């Protein structure tokens, strides 16, 4: 009998605890849903419910309570987060952003724009949504938010901050971060990074950020050995920012890029001529620059390359049996590059041709198959060997 009564008591006690636990969980869930915000499914990490009863989920925290939140390094009274007003909804978006609840920032921002189209507060809403996407490393989606904001508020309160964020997006793309499409597919986005940088130059002409963006484009092309586009970008920089202290750098790099387009002495020497003119102008304009001495050495190398190119062209015509054209290039090498080893070699070759009259050939000299010219290093290789 005693054992039977003990069993009944234990079962009743367990049932009571179960009912109490279920009730407590239900109340906690209601309280969490009330605090979490519009359509939210997750809760701030620092959430503690101190209310005696859960407030209306559509109204946010119960009136009369004083919540505190951490903003810009200090505790301040929490803003009213009433879902039924634009100020309240914006307060929720800021709340989510402060806590890195980025998916909620984006979804609530979409709700704000739908419920309050044309509201001036939507400028900040779109900025916060873009920044949230950046934190999620969804850079293309972030850029779309920023562009939407700038289109609606070209000279708005947050436009400078937004342009800075666009620069950061572009930098991420140029550094190899992918563009996410269809929610999961990563694609290379370096060309998008270039486009964004150039948009900044157009949107903020003359600004420090525009200058930084234009230089970044030029350096990107240079570093990837796309020398033709690098020259154009450096030249554009010099046109837009004439008084910049980085003009010497841009001029010098443009000259190096022009030289990089010259491949070997069997090709057209136009890039060499362009590079020679650029280095000469740089040395005259900035004689005291740290790169001036280096420019002088490069000019000597360019002169030697041009002498070699002229001599090699004469050699080509000699090998294909066009003595008059060969005589023309040998004499030109002697006249223009007599101070180089190529001038001496050209003089000897010209003498060996005897009384042949020189004649300037028409068209461009292109070595024929089976008639190789002297092996030559590229201009870039020659420059890299300078002491």
| Res. 167: pLDDT tops 80 | yes
Query: What does the pLDDT read at residue 26?
Result: 45
| Res. 79: pLDDT tops 80 | no
| Res. 346: pLDDT tops 50 | yes
Number of Cβ within 10 Å of residue 352's Cβ equals 11
Give the mean pLDDT of the chain.
Answer: 81
Q: Do 61-204 and 244-387 come out as alike in CATH topology?
A: yes
- CA distances to 40, 53, 102, 318, 369 from 43, rounded to whole Å, are 8, 18, 12, 84, 74
Please state the rounded mean pLDDT for residues 351-370. Answer: 70
Give 379's pLDDT tier (boundaries 50, 70, 90).
very low
Q: Which CATH architecture has domain 61-204?
A: Alpha Horseshoe (1.25)
Query: What does the pLDDT read at residue 17?
Result: 44
| Res. 331: pLDDT tops 50 | yes
**Which residues lie below 8 Å from residue 345, measured CB to CB, with a gap of 6+?**
311, 333
- CA distances to 173, 174, 208, 216, 250 from 237, rounded to whole Å, are 21, 19, 12, 10, 7
Give 309's pLDDT tier (boundaries 50, 70, 90).
very high
For the domain made up of 244-387, give the CATH fold.
Answer: 1.25.40
Please state the rounded mean pLDDT for residues 170-189. Answer: 93
pLDDT in tens, 2-33: 555 454 444 444 445 444 444 444 444 444 33
Spatial CA neighbour of 371 closest among 302, 308, 305, 322: 322
pTM of the complete model beyond 0.95: no
Least confident of 170-179, 263-272, 362-371: 362-371
* Segments in the chain forming alpha helices (H): 2-36, 86-98, 102-115, 122-135, 139-152, 159-174, 190-203, 208-223, 227-240, 247-260, 270-285, 292-319, 323-336, 341-352, 379-384
pLDDT in tens, 252-294: 999 999 999 998 766 678 999 999 999 999 999 999 999 999 9
What residues does 187 pair with on adjacent strands? 179
Least confident of 14-18, 51-55, 246-250: 51-55
Residue % of the chain over a pLDDT of 70? 72
| Res. 193: pLDDT tops 80 | yes
Domain limits, the chain: 61-204, 244-387
pLDDT in tens, 196-231: 999 999 999 999 999 999 999 999 999 999 999 999
């Amino acid at each position: 009998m005693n054992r039977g009564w003990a069993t009944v008591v234990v079962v009743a006690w367990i049932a009571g605890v179960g009912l109490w636990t279920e009730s407590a969980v239900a109340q906690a869930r209601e309280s969490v849903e009330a605090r979490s915000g519009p359509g939210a499914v997750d809760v701030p990490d620092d959430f503690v419910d101190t209310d005696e009863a859960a407030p209306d989920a559509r109204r946010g925290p119960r009136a009369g309570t004083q919540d505190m939140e951490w903003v810009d390094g200090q505790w301040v009274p929490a803003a009213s987060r009433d879902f039924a007003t634009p100020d309240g909804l914006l307060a929720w978006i800021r709340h989510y952003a402060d806590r890195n609840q980025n998916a909620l920032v984006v979804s609530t921002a979409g709700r704000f724009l739908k419920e309050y189209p044309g509201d001036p507060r939507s400028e900040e809403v779109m900025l916060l949504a873009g920044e949230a996407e950046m934190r999620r490393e969804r850079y293309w989606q972030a850029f779309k938010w920023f562009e939407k904001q700038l289109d609606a508020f070209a000279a708005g309160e947050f436009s400078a901050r937004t342009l800075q964020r666009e620069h950061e997006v572009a930098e991420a793309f140029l550094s190899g971060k992918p563009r996410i499409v269809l929610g999961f597919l990563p694609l290379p986005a370096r060309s998008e990074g270039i486009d964004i940088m150039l948009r900044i130059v157009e949107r903020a002409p003359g600004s420090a950020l525009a200058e930084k963006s234009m230089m970044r484009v030029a350096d990107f092309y240079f570093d990837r050995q796309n020398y033709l586009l690098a020259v154009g970008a450096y030249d554009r920089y010099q046109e837009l920012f004439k008084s910049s202290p980085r003009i010497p750098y841009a001029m010098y790099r443009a000259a190096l890029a022009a030289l990089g387009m010259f491949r070997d002495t069997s090709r057209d020497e136009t890039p060499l001529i362009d590079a020679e003119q650029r280095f000469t102008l740089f040395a005259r304009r900035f004689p005291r620059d740290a790169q001036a001495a280096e420019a002088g050495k490069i000019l000597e190398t360019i002169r030697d390359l041009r002498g070699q190119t002229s001599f090699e062209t004469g050699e080509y015509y000699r090998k294909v049996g066009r003595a008059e054209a060969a005589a023309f290039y040998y004499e030109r090498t002697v006249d223009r590059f007599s101070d180089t080893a190529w001038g001496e070699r050209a003089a000897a070759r010209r003498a060996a041709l005897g009384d042949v009259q020189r004649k300037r050939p028409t068209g461009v000299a292109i070595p024929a198959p089976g008639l190789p010219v002297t092996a030559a290093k590229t201009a870039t290789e020659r420059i890299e060997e300078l002491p």
